[in-house]
Amino acid sequence: MDDDRTPITAQFQSFDVNIVSRKPLIGSLGLTALTGHNIELRLDQNSAKALLLALAAFLAQNIDDRQIVPDDYGGIVFNNRRTLN
């Protein structure tokens, strides 16, 4: 699938997550575009897990790739300990 849209470069600025709902779990994470505009990344439980797995795979590029791996249950294993499901 081709996407002709121009990507927006943004930076993660804060560890704050705005919780909109706990059941179902819904929230947002703030990003700041290089243009100065704020971007709200909306998250539900599944998208947050997918983001966490993608970030773990990114971090694994700088360490022993065997330390951070996805498991068969939708979670991740870090140093042989299951940390998310």
Nearest to 39 by CA among 18, 16, 8: 8
With 80 as the cut, is the pLDDT of residue 75 above it?
Answer: no
Write down the pLDDT at residue 54: 84
Write down the pLDDT at residue 40: 92
Please give, one letter per residue, the 3-state secondary structure of 19-71: EEEECCEEEEEEEEECCCCEEEEEEEHHHHHHHHHHHHHHHHCCCCCCCEEEC
C-alpha 4, offset from chain centre: 24
Residue-averaged pLDDT of the chain: 79
Q: What is the pTM of this model?
A: 0.64
Nearest to 30 by CA among 19, 44, 41: 41
